[in-house]
Amino acid sequence: MIYYLLYLEWGLQDDIGAFNVFRYITFRTAMSTLTALLVALLLGPWMIRRLQQFQIGQEIREEGPASHHVKKGTPTMGGLLIITAVVLPTILWADPSNRFTWIAIGSTIAFGGIGFIDDYLKVAKKRNLGLRTRTKFALQIGVALVIGVVLATSDVFTTQMIFPFFKNFTPDLGWFYPALVVLVLVASSNAVNLTDGLDGLAIGSLLIAWTAFTVLVYAAGHALVADYLGIFTVKGVAELTVFCGAVLGASLGFLWFNSHPAEIFMGDVGSMAMGGALGTVAILIKQELLLILVGGLFVLESLSVILQVGSYKMRGRRIFRMAPLHHHFELGGWSESKVVIRFWIMAIIFALLGLATLKLR
């Protein structure tokens, strides 16, 4: 909105040269980040109080670590704060004519809406169960399918799939592309959801992954940079950097309140929104497969659950003390803070490995 009014609508840059700065994506990304951080920090205390007034508190798994029982009743659904702090700055600082930005915003809100329903049912039932698994997956697939069809029918987006390390292997999936979108979005939203189990773990890991993807988005939107790095150029996607900046600012602001001991939890509304948004951005810049490496921590958390459930059903034995993986180490004697910080270190390693592949193509 600010960019549209000052630069596109009123054309103040013609009279005041300083307003030319608004045409630079780097400037607007920085302002979007700071605005999102400010929104999160200012709205955070108010939202915590409101959630407490409405008695929207977290329910704790009885079979979980005993140290978590003291967290029962901590305000949840803090993802509403994250979404607000992402959407408002993006609208303020991004070019409103850019369709990639609106796709990212729409995905964030849609997946956040599914998480909101899940959280609401948990609060209403006063137990750690929300939407039925089948219903949740059906809603996620529906949202992802809409996004996939929109992209597959777009005249500015290609349905080619890019393979890291294979520069010339870019098969066109055509009408099979929406299936890839469904796979990526459903997997990413649920992977982040599974990681959200300790104070600051999910949002800190997201912050690291989003930092890497902010760099990737900026590079993918600039032909010279993309050509130098050997990555696919997507015309117009550079504007999505403003959205990524808002996510970074919102994540930092939320971490202020979510750090141990957490004053608020993001809930499914936050984890699904951020997971869906991350997957959407990876799709828009044609780095769906690189998401597996950059988001390696989320992959490990998901695999631990899949292996645990599969092993128990097939052999009647568990592989881990408890799944997801962070609970395994907690029950092994690691303190919550130690688990979180060490998992953040792992997330940094995965993000650096992902960025390191840019010149290995």
What HEC string does 165-189 produce?
CECCCCCECHHHHHHHHHHHHHHHH
Burial of 150 (0-12, 13-18, 19+ CB in 10 A): middle
Cβ atoms of 98 and 120 within 8 Å: the answer is: no
State the pLDDT at residue 293. Answer: 95
State the pLDDT at residue 12. Answer: 47
Q: List C-alpha distances in Å: 172 to 12, 36, 175, 332.
A: 44, 37, 9, 47
State the pLDDT at residue 228. Answer: 77
Beta-bridge mates of residue 202: none
> What are 355's two structure tokens?
């960025």
pTM for the structure as a whole? 0.91
State the pLDDT at residue 14. Answer: 47
Sequence-distant contacts of 324-331: CB under 8 A, at least 24 apart: 324/194, 324/195, 324/197, 325/300, 325/301, 326/195, 326/197, 326/198, 326/201, 326/301, 327/64, 327/65, 327/197, 328/304, 330/65, 330/67, 330/198, 331/65
Find out whether the peptide bond into 89 is cis, omega within 30 degrees of 0: no
State the pLDDT at residue 10. Answer: 45
- pLDDT in single tens digits along all 361 residues of the chain: 665 555 555 454 444 545 566 678 898 999 999 999 999 999 999 999 998 887 776 665 555 565 555 667 788 899 999 999 999 999 999 988 899 999 999 999 999 999 999 998 888 776 667 788 899 999 999 999 999 999 999 888 888 888 877 777 788 888 899 999 999 999 999 999 999 989 999 999 999 999 999 999 999 988 888 877 778 888 889 999 999 999 999 999 999 999 989 999 999 999 999 999 999 999 999 999 999 999 999 999 999 999 999 998 899 899 999 989 999 999 899 999 999 999 999 999 999 999 988 766 5
State the pLDDT at residue 128. Answer: 65
State the pLDDT at residue 269. Answer: 96
State the pLDDT at residue 122. Answer: 84
State the pLDDT at residue 53. Answer: 85
State the pLDDT at residue 7. Answer: 53
State the pLDDT at residue 175. Answer: 87
